[in-house]
Amino acid sequence: MTPGEPLIRWDWIASHLDEIGFRLWEHFELTTIAIVAGLVIAFGLSFVALRAPRLYPPITGVTGILYTIPSLALFAFLVPYTGFTILTAEIGLVSYTLLILIRNIVAGVRGVPAEVREAARGMGYTDRQILWRVELPLALAVIFAGIRVATITTIGLVTVTALIGEGGLGYFILFGIQLFFSTPLLVGAVGSVLFAIVVDGSLVLVQRSLTPWSRVA
Amino acid sequence: MVNRLIEPTSGEILIDGQNVLTEDPTQLRRRIGYVIQQVGLFPHRTIGQNVATVPELLGWPDARIRARVDELLSLIGFDPARMRDRYPAQLSGGERQRVGVARAMAAEPPLMLMDEPFGAVDPIVRERLQNEFLQLQRTQGITVIFVTHDIDEAIKLGDRVAIMRAGKLVQFAPPAELLAHPADDFVARFVGSDRGLKRLALLTVGGAELDPPVDPSRLDGAPVLSPAMSLRDALAEMLASEKQVGMVRDGDRYLGVLTLSHIGKILRIEDGQ
């Protein structure tokens, strides 16, 4: 950092509001796509694991390995195949959501009390109806806990995708580091933290409105 | 097995003459009421929605479902407007059990299966639930298969009691018959050495032989008994009074005198001794 330069230059922020807004939107987009795609894949794999419990260990095994690959290494590995594209970014982001989401979906469904399931079957619910009308609604709280962790993780990881030309607010972090310029670095870092807090809070509100029964008694 | 949650390995189960194995299990279950010990209310559905479960599955029109839910909630002693929108977590154990029964009755099933439905509530609540259930069952005219480990409950609620031992049926009889003539030692021990007293609870004063009426002044201090009273309650009142006899009256009509020897005779006759 240049000596005598202030930590934050508010005039820089003021003159870059448009770009900050655009990057924030990009951050939101990258996160949303990753979570939605992650949920679709995770639900698919979870249903397989719930139907065939033998497949649960290999499913968590593979997604667990994906989860441990350092993000930077994963992006570096993908770039030769998919280039500096949003696809590269999303492949990485989605893979990191899977383990958490699958574990929470399966744990949530398995956590439904046996007597509730027996009552449902005894009254003439089909297997499919039991899943959609009983098990999934009751698993919602646990599933949402997974979605929240996955979302926060993803918002952090999105900043890393700046290295492959995406990045949302991460762009400012990279930009600041490259130029030894603290203002954009702080905009990127503080901005993504604030963004994560707001999103997490919104998820809590959504969950509450979806599970009114958990607020009583 | 009746609702095919467990498939029979041999034999037949007929409901109104139809073998349950010929029917689709899901359809079959929708026309059989089902109550289990742990109730299994859906925690995410309101009381009203819980009760509406089977009618919804059967595709009843909304208005009919709403009317039926309110009817059932009243039947189990709830104020529909107050209870309909609550969640199971807001109810006591006894209240939940009643909702479980209402839910099972919702689609007017001709047959209900109840697996130890009152096993998990305290004795006072159990007694109340049993009385309510007895009344419901009589007024609604439903056939109920009721599983219990409590012989007193079986005698109180059952029209016919089947006693199982190690997977085998040892006796199937009306409660009074069971108490009077246990099929073997196992049943005799199971119904208890006080089975004579238990049987008195099932018989009424009106069914007993009486001495002809005597001058009421000679019965001073004797309890007045009604024909609908159980012999057990009559006996208790008689023993507590000085005279050890009871004056049997049906309203204004003076029917006769009940004595301890009448009661003893009934016990001996039915014991076959």
pLDDT average, residue stretch B90-105 = 87
Q: Which of residues 70-109 of B touch A (CB under 8 A)?
A: 86-87, 89-90, 100, 103-104
Report residue B273's pLDDT band, with 50, 70 and 90 as the boundaries.
Answer: very low
Higher pLDDT, B136 or B67: B67
Give the mean model confidence (pLDDT) for residues B187-200: 76
pLDDT value at position B2? 75
CA nearest A43: which of A93, A90, A97? A97
Cβ count near A4 (within 10 Å) = 5
**pLDDT at site A1:** 52
**SS3 string of B250-266?**
ECCEEEEEEEHHHHHHH
In which region does residue B108 sit, left (phi positive, over 0), alpha (psi from -120 to 50) or beta (all else)?
Answer: left
Task: For residue A130, give Cα distances in angstroms to A154, A196, B24, B145.
Answer: 32, 34, 17, 25
The secondary structure of residue B70, as a DSSP letter, is H
Q: Which of B108, B115, B178, B170 is nearest to B136 (CA)?
A: B108
Mutate to test the interface with A, among B2, B39, B42 (most CBs of A within 10 A): B42
Asked if B224 and B246 count as a contact pair (C-beta separation under 8 A), the reply is yes
CA dist B145 and B36 (Å) reads 12
Q: What angle do CA B189, B194, B199 make, to 5 degrees?
A: 105
What single-letter DSSP state applies at residue B160? S
Minimum-distance CB partner of B34 among A122, A212, A216: A122
Task: Name which of B39, B40, B89 is nearest A213 (Cβ-Cβ).
Answer: B89
Chain B residues with CB-CB distance to A213 below 8 A: 43-46, 87, 89
E strand or H helix that includes residue B225? strand B224-225
pLDDT digit string, tens, across residues B233-262 = 888 888 888 777 888 888 788 888 888 877
Q: How far apart are CA B16 and CA A211, in angstroms?
A: 42
Residue A31 structure tokens: 């996160």
Q: How far is CA A116 from the centre of its chain?
A: 31
Where helices occur in chain B by DSSP H, the ranges are 25-30, 47-51, 53-57, 62-75, 80-83, 93-105, 123-140, 151-157, 175-180, 185-191, 195-202, 231-240, 260-271
Beta carbons within 8 Å of A157's beta carbon, 6+ residues apart: A71, A92, A93, A96
| DSSP conformation class of B211 | B
pLDDT at B3 > cutoff 80? no
Mean pLDDT over the full length of chain B? 82
Q: What is the full DSSP assignment across A13-80?
A: HHHTHHHHHHHHHHHHHHHHHHHHHHHHHHHHHHHHHHH-GGGHHHHHHHHHHHHHS-HHHHHHHHHH
pLDDT of residue A61: 93
Model confidence pLDDT, tens digit, residues B198-241: 777 777 887 777 788 777 777 777 888 888 888 888 888 888 88
According to the model, what pLDDT value does residue B28 have? 85
Residue B151: pLDDT over 60: yes
pTM (2 d.p.): 0.77
Q: Which amino acid is at A84?
A: F
More confident residue, B71 or B265: B71
Burial environment of residue B25 by CB neighbours within 10 A (0 to 12, 13 to 18, 19 or more): middle
Alpha helices in B90-218 (DSSP H): 93-105, 123-140, 151-157, 175-180, 185-191, 195-202
CA distances from A87 to A37, A92, B229 (A): 12, 9, 83
Give pLDDT tens digits for B158-184. 888 888 888 888 888 888 787 777 888
With beta carbons less than 8 A apart as the criterion, state whether B196 and B273 touch: no
CA distance B2 to B14: 9
Classified as helix, coil or strand, B40 is coil
Name every residue whose Cβ is closer than 8 Å to that of residue A176 and which is 6 or more positions away in sequence: A182, A183, A184, A185, A186, A187, A188
To probe the interface with B, which of A117, A123, A129 has the most B CB atoms within 10 Å? A123
Using a pLDDT cut of 90, give the percent of chain B over it: 11
Where do we find the tokens 């209900």? B112
Chain A partners of B27 at a C-beta cutoff of 8 Å?
Answer: 124
Residues of chain A with pLDDT under 70: 1-4, 217
Instruction: Measure the CA–CA gap between B38 and B180, rounded to whole angstroms.
Output: 34
Residue A131 DSSP symbol: I
**Given pLDDT bands bounded at 50, 70 and 90, which one contains residue B270?**
low
Q: Are B8 and B21 in contact (CB under 8 A)?
A: yes
Q: How many CB atoms neighbour CB A8 within 10 A?
A: 14
Chain A residue set in contact with B, beta carbons under 8 Å: 113, 115-126, 129, 134, 137-138, 211-213, 216-217
Contact B147/A at CB under 8 A: no
Does position B269 have pLDDT exceeding 70, yes or no? no
